[in-house]
Structure 1
Amino acid sequence: MIVHFNDSDPAMLPAPSQDKTGPQLDFAAIFAAMRRNKRIMFLSVLIAVGIGAVHVQTSPRSYLAATEVMIIEEFAGSAQNFNRPATLAQNEITLDSARKVLESQKLALAVVDALDLHARPEVLSSESSLARQGIETMRGLILGLLPAEQGAPTQIDPDTAEQLARMSAADTLRQGIEVRREGRSSVFSIRYTSNNPQFAAEVVNAYGQAFLADQLIGNVEASSSVLDWLHDRLMVIQENSAQAALKAEEFRARSGLLTVAGESIRVQTISQLNSDLAAATVELAQIRALKTVYAELSELDPIEFVRSGAAGVRVPAAEFAAGQQRLLDLQQSLDDVERRQGPGHSAAIRLRAQIEREGSTLQREIASLYETTRNAARVKEAEVEMLRASIEDFSNENLQLATARVELQSLERQAGILDALNETYLMRMKDLEQTQTFPVANVRVLSVSDVPEKPVAPRKTIIMGFMLLMGTMVGGGLSVLRDGREKVIRTSDALYDASGRPFLGYLPMLTLNEVKALPEPQEAKARPVLPRYNRLRKSGTCQQPDPFRYPFPALKHPRSHYTETLRNIRNACETSALGKSGYVLGIVSLRPGEGKTTLAKNLAALTAVSGSSVLLVDGDVRTSGMSQRLGQSEGVGLRDVLQGTAAMHNAIRKETSTGLHFMSSGFSPDDAHAGDSLYSSRFRDMLDEARSRYALTIVDLAPLGPVSDARALLPAIDGLVMVVEWGRMPIGLLQKTLSMDPVLYKKILGITLSKTNMTSLRDYTRLDETGNYYDVYASKHA
């Protein structure tokens, strides 16, 4: 008999896992860990926000004042209009120099003197936040514990003390001043932050005025110094420019590098010779062509000369053209005579003789023309050679003068540079003379700072947002760390990594009523069979127990996730049982209470209603949990079969709603030798008989951890389905159990996770797992 399980719904097998190569940051797993640890996340965010709120409330208010200055190169109507525009690189250098001046100690000292800051150092000191005060207090306590340096106090004179106070105030002021360039413009923003808004406005306004005065004085002083230097330098440049121009003209005349219309005479001569050479080459080619034609015609005999059509050859000679015409007329007359009188007529013979004489005459003229053309070709060839030799001579001379031309160009460039430099210095000198007459600074103060009213720090929104983000990140890190330390199995990936066996699906958590699923009241009452059963056992004539009815949860909800996992387990058994005449499947777990008994009875019922013959055996003889769940503890059972007091068919009872056959345990919980009976050969004989009578035999086995009953039956069982409780099974325990028993490992068809909290499972699994989409196919009442 071949095992085949019928079903109207297709199997839903787990999708093959993808290869994971390289370290990857799994954001989905991180977010899932954060959802699972909501309490940690809440506390982390609450603490971070609380710290941020305390910081905001205890931090002193800071006010920002700002003024703007612009660096300009020219003013309308001023002397600077005569300046040439500077390049982009020069502008960048100028602006960078202006920034350095604004940040310099000299400008800070000018502001200190203008506001008399060294006499009131309290205005430069800033209030500290509560956190900074705590740090400073700790720092002071630590320094107080260290031994102080011993030394005599140094006496400082008043002038030195005042100078030191000015330098200290300037350094403090420079640390608070911020100079910022606005984009790519030449505008600079001078900013200062202080706890005193009035003082912040005074500082930035004083900075703007000090920078303006510094630039004005600096321009006047720089112009006076540069003007003296330019005057001396200009005299030297003018003298050098005149000498350079004179040297260039002398070298040109001495080297023969004279020019006409801006071009060298030698270059013009070479150009004319090249033109003459090109014309002579063309004429030579034409003469050679005529010579070739005349040579071919002169070598023919008179008759062949006439037949070849020499009369039609174009020759630039009047006498030859007249002879050609006569020859053509004779040929035409001959054709007329031969057509009228025939070729043998005397007139025709006479005409042929005349044609021959006339052809000889033309051929002699052709020979004369050939000699004339040959002489002309020799003359033209001599002319071409002469032109080439002249061009080569002039080219060699021109090449020899190349060094002289390069030197002349160098002298001319030097003279031009000196002349341009002279013009530049003259223009700059004129500008500086006008600058001294009308001193103008190239700085303009664009805005004057008012007293700021709104504080810029602490920034409540940014601080609270940052602390919220930090709290979320810390909470997320703690959540991931906590999940990493949790060594229990909750997902299919974790199960496969720990066991290496196929994952058969999730079995959702059932309610207490669904697990017990007690029979209806009229059928759940205990039947008074015990006296009758005892009498039959003593007489050795046990009869088959009465049928019973049991409401299986899987059949009540055929489209539930629990039932779909049962179908997947059944399909795995069918795949493993191909070609066998019967299949014995064991349902096992590592620890008690993991849901193996519930799985066994519902799997048996689901397979039975599909039309297959199924036998369910309560093999957990120490507890008889299956028999108690089904309400079939009394009567003939497995114990009687193993002891030989009852035949197998007498120990089987039928469930009427599914057609399922069930064999109860029959052992009492007080029976100390119940487990020993599983080692007998009768149990294996019973399973062999079950193979011949049933397509599928399901044995509910004892847990692997507490007792060894299940391992005793491994040789007699075709395959195992292991049940692992979701979120309770330690990974190490599962790995250790499977690694220590290779036979057990090979027998396991797959593992299922029972008592799964499907709501919480979504926080542990990826969004793309196929199990998350099962609700699309499940009914509303599943």
Structure 2
Amino acid sequence: MPEEQAPPATAKWPQPTVDLREMARILRRRWKLVAVSSAALAALALIYIFILATTLYTATSTVFVDPRRTTAIESNQSSVETSNYGTDDATIDSEAMLIQSIAILQRVVEKLKLTNDEEFNPPPNALDYIKSFFKTAGPEGGASPQDAAIARAVDILQRRMKVARQGTTFLVDINVSSQSPRKAALIANAVSDAYFEEQVRAKNDATKIAANWLNGQIDELKSRVVASEKAVEDYRAANNLTVSQGVTVNDQQLTDLNNQLIAARVQTAEARAKYEQARQLAKNGGDPGGINAAISSDVIARLRTQYADIAKNEADLLSKYGPRHPSVAAVHAQLRDTQRLIDEEIKRILQSTQHDYDVARSREASLQQNFDQLQGVATSSSQAQVRLRELQREAEANRTLYESYLARYKESTAQQALQLPDSHVVTKASIPISPSWPKKFLILGLALTLGLGIGSVLAFIADYLDERVKTLDQAEKISGVPALAAVPLISAGELAGRAKRGRSELDRYDPKTTTLLPAPLQPPLMRYAIEAPGTFFAEAVRSIRLALQRTMRVQPVKVVLVTSALENEGKTTLAANLAQSLATLGVKTLLIDGDLRNPQLTRSLCPHAETGLLEIAMGRAPVERAILVDPSTGLSILPSTTIKRTEFITELMFSEQMVDVLDHCRHRYELVVIDSPPLVPLVDGRALAELADRIVLALAWDQTPGEVLSHTMDLLAPVHDRILGTVLTRVDLSRLRFYDYYQSSAYLKPYATSGLTVEAAR
């Protein structure tokens, strides 16, 4: 089998849509319900505004909530930043909630003694007693009467107060309503003052709690600092880690020795250089006098000066006396002695250089030995110093924490004497001039709007639940047979005007006559189709007549039954006008009053008839004696006399006598129109339907329920093929435009002559 294809998107079920025009028509045809609902709520609103509502005046105090405001004791910016709390929306909203808290309102109630004010502590009423009856009993030792009065006043004040933030600003409005404008302003200002007092009290409490807690922490931290510092000193003493000028003695000694060792090494190097120079000169045979020490020696300098002087003197004496002169020999001896002294001094200097070198080298070695010993001691105490530094850090941390807590404790102690609220008043509440409640126009507007809404909803519900037949299309859908016409109702004024024309005939009329009433004395509605042929009423009757004539051309039709589902649906009027319309065309027509229980047709046309359908069927009188003829139309009428014993009526409808009567009429007349009893309450009409060739079902417009029509069609199921169609009677054409515009007076008005208003009909 080929694979089935998915249906196209266009084949989906149609989605329900909202018909705005139909909604508008529903509101227009149900406007009375909407108007009544709006008027009722508007009336209730007016009663509330002028009678029930309590006049209230609202005073407003504006407060600036500043979370960044600091106390006067905070001096530096860092403390300001750490003391501030958030400035986001949640903070401002929290402050607004705090303003209307029970604690603040209770302070206001006690301050202003609102428990003595009947507005905030009214006497119990009946509703309060009913509420107390349903309340469960509280535990023993409950609230005192004074506490209960305060709680009641706080509750009323909460309902009379509204705290609102102005947009996203820090401004908060405190709105208080009261029956007295002065009292409203007084309470609003009292609430703002109580809010500031609550802020100061909360700060004082927080400061006291913080100070007490810090005081307890300070004692503990103080003992901890003392213990940690003692541990440092004990460990230093135990490990010989005495400190001098910020460093240990061992480190100080090591530093000094290191400096001395460096100086000793320099000195040794200098002495060694001098010694090596002298030893090198002596080894090479050089002049020792060239040694720096010898050159810089004062003794050698004097001896050399003296040697120069003696040498000069010797030269002078040699030139003057010659080498053998005793004076020359003496000078020569002095010169040798001076040279000897110079050599001895240089030798001493050389020995001194060696000695200095030996001393410097010995001193350097001694310092190196001591430095090595101290360095060994420092190496052995490195682990002890690590532990010492750890103890020192712990002691320093404890000291810092102790000093911080001590400073904060002193600040908290100082702040207890000076606390400022974080908020201030921007605008104090003034005495209001005009009342704030009730808002007359607002309440009335809301009532009207709500009334329109409720009325519209009720209109839609009523229209949805209303299943009465109102259009020809609706009648066709429910019944399944054609809808022939819509017969309008005639205005009571027009009927009254037509009835006045029969007053002249009334004087000449014999009440005891058994014939037909004269045409002017007959009900105007029974002859309306022929007396007002230009009206929609007559046009509707002609539409029914046309449908009947069309059927008569193709099928033999002799007996037409005009009936209805329920009583008082206009079937008698329809039967009379249809029969008269046929008679005016020259059709030999007989109109039979088949409603033996309620012969409305007979009471309207021949109320004093003595012979009727029952007498003919029972064989008590011939047909010709009972039939009455209307001379103006040629219509024959077979009335029905009043029957006291109704048990014969049903049996008569099912008897062969009724068949014989109708057969006799079929041969005597071209068309027989029967005014039948209603079908639903009585079985008589169903029996006549079995004998009729065609059935016309009259439905009272906006009166016959759709389910009744469906039930009627079920009752006529055996003769369904004989039903010619349905006819809407008593149609208000002016209202019909809200249901079926094309059948209403709005569409047919250009063709109308009269008979469009609806006030009364049979």
Q: TM-score, normalised by structure 2?
A: 0.48
Bigger Rg, structure 1 or 2: 2
Task: Identify the structure with bigger relative contact order (alpha carbons < 8 Å, sequence gap 6+).
Answer: 1
